[in-house]
Structure 1
Amino acid sequence: MKTSLLLLLSISALLMNVQAADSKIASGTVNALGVDLYHAQAHGDGNLLLSPYSIQSALAMTYAGAAGDTQAEMQRVLHFPADDNALHESFSVLGQALAQTAKKTVDRIAESKKYGGPSTPIEFDLANRLFAQRGYDFRPSFLDLVKERYGAELEQMDYKTDPEGARKTINQWVEKQTKEKIRDLIPAGAIKHDARLTLVNALYLRAPWSDEFNAKATTKEKFLVHGRESAEVPMMQKESHCGYARREGFQIVTRPYVGGELQFVILLPDDPAGLAAMEKQLTPKLIEDCAHLSSQKVILHLPKFRLEPPTIPLGEDLKALGMKTAFDDPKGSANFDRMAPRRPNDYLYISAVLHKTYLALDENGTEAAAATAVVVAAGMAMIKQPPPVEVRVDHPFLFMIQHVPSGACIFIGRVTDPR
């Protein structure tokens, strides 16, 4: 008897020191897998957008049900520690820290408005849910863990007789949680009658700049599309204090969102055609370093852009990284016994991992969205300031949205054509 389980994570449009320390396990795994999948997806010269936090959170919930060789394999590929409790606790703390990032800005905005500061707080909403087959024998310990650590409530579904209805229900939930930025996350046919569970995480992010760009200063400037052909695009301009560093062959600029706990990171190669070479230097350590750059006055020219790529299948990338038995390769090898009892003729396995994203950046800030679906089936002091640095982002670049206290990469991508 075949049974499928779909795990979905959706993230829309992008603490204290103790909390930051506790979240380091989760943020470390997010960044490490993010680098792996970025390298796997960075073929060709097109735009790219992923949410490492979305993907890893979804897989962490799935991992909670893995056992035996499948558990060991997922632990290795996903960069998870041996201590499961520490892992899930860390994801819980990181989720709370991200939620608190938004709540903190509400009070700060009320005060700053008195002095003409930013007037819009960050919106950062996280939600998890389990869409489970009615009557299926899921282990209470698994359901309790994902509810306690990830806040995932259980909703009964009937995949057996109405898989298409279940797909529409899940997609509608995702659309609502992401303010309709992620539509049709799960494509037609992705959920079949053998589905048994869909784990869903939704996140919505709207992050205003701490110091907005003046729309009147936005002008048409040249951008070397794909590092080759010149095109005029709307280019924002602003002189302000930013994080700044120069590395061999590229510059890094970080620009804070209101509240300062989230930032937009730009990695710009010196060579207009040097994006691919720079991407090879992308490591979890580099991502972590971006959270601790020295501040400097920067004159920044940054193109407005909007990315809305189609759903990306990540299953083959994860298998290539070594996570094979989770996908029941070879047949009969998947083991999710900690999720539901494994029987010879009824066991769970991942049949697909689907990911969808959205990001729009303009003078006011950033709105971002992403969604990941994992389908599991069963088979059988005063210092003289240096002059400002002028940075023209007029050719392909890599970018991130980063949670500064933890260093976690919420979104990562590249822009080769901002049009």
Structure 2
Amino acid sequence: MTTVNVVVNAIYFKGEWSDPFKKENTIDGEFRRLDCSLIDVSFMRIWSHQQIACHEGFKVLKLPYKVMDEALRPGLSWKKWDKIPKFCMCVFLPDANDGLWSLVERMASSPEFLHVHLPMKSVPVGKFWLPRFKLSFGGSIIDDLKSLGLILPFDPFMASMTEMVKDEATEGGMYIDNVIHTAVIEVNEEGSVAAASTESDDDMGFS
């Protein structure tokens, strides 16, 4: 088996909150993890109206990102303003301490779940705390892709990936040996930064 091709796809996002948190309002507090243990984390706080929706078993927060420099907005007509893409970060919070997995299953059960349950308006809030955090993930997603039904590209006997590379050395057949996904997201008072990359290794197989 010889690696003859490596394909990498990457994406990067950086957004500022339309209503940023003030760093001086950030305080430490207890955060409950999946195993119900408690750890101290930094919580960002704000007292303005927020886009929050309450549903049976969970709540949803929608934090909009700043669309553009406010100094440029007065020069735009409403028609042009409506056409500018607007992005938000959505946070789903289960009511039960162990309710995350059942909530994820509900999300995956219906393509419309996310849009149906997003907040439609801003409401006044009292104690509004959001943890400041940075998460990263990395590893092979071969098993996940196979569980979704993607089998053929990983079969050394059946795969036919040689059209991806014009090289006489690949005439014997080529298949995908591994797919590695890496992602990181950081959320702080100013906004959030997210990046992800997916790498696939194409190896010589059997014709």
Match of 1:249 among 57, 73, 97: 57
Match of 2:160 among 335, 353, 359: 335
Show the counterpart of 1:322.
149
Show the counterpart of 1:271.
96
Inter-CA distance 266–346: structure 2 relative to 1 (3 Å threshold): same
**Structure 1 position 351, deviation (Å):** 0.5
Show the counterpart of 2:179.
353
Please give the TM-score of this superposition, normalised by the length of structure 2.
0.78
**Structure 1 position 278, deviation (Å):** 1.5
CA contact (8 A) 2:20 2:190 kept: yes
Of the two, which has the highest radius of gyration? 2
**Structure 1 position 372, deviation (Å):** 0.8
Asked whether 1:204 is paired with 2:41, we answer no
**Structure 1 position 294, deviation (Å):** 0.5
Unaligned runs of 5+ in 1: 3-193, 381-419
Q: Which runs of 4+ in 1 moved over 4 A?
A: none
Inter-CA distance 236–321: structure 2 relative to 1 (3 Å threshold): same
Q: How many residues align?
A: 184
In the aligned structure 2, how far is the partner of 1:355 from the partner of 1:196?
19
In the aligned structure 1, how far is the partner of 2:55 from the partner of 2:201?
40
Secondary structure of the residue that 1:358 maps to in structure 2?
strand
**Structure 1 position 288, deviation (Å):** 3.5
- Which structure has greater strand proportion? 2
In the aligned structure 1, how far is the partner of 2:146 from the partner of 2:202?
14
Secondary structure of the residue that 2:24 maps to in structure 1?
helix
Show the counterpart of 1:185.
none
In the aligned structure 2, how far is the partner of 1:245 from the partner of 1:217?
24
Matches within 5 A, 1:123-138: none
Indicate the percent of aligned positions where both proteins have the same amino acid.
27
Task: Tell me the alpha carbon deviations over residues 211-254 of structure 1, each in whole angstroms, 9 at most, x when there is no partner.
Answer: 10011111122222225223332111113343322222101111
Unaligned runs of 5+ in 2: 68-84
In the aligned structure 1, how far is the partner of 2:178 from the partner of 2:5?
13
Inter-CA distance 257–227: structure 2 relative to 1 (3 Å threshold): farther
- Which structure has greater helix proportion? 1
Please give the TM-score of this superposition, normalised by the length of structure 1.
0.40
Inter-CA distance 340–206: structure 2 relative to 1 (3 Å threshold): closer
CA contact (8 A) 1:239 1:297 kept: no
**Structure 1 position 205, deviation (Å):** 1.9
CA contact (8 A) 2:141 2:181 kept: yes
CA contact (8 A) 1:345 1:379 kept: no
CA contact (8 A) 2:9 2:199 kept: no
Matches within 5 A, 1:372-411: 372-380=198-206
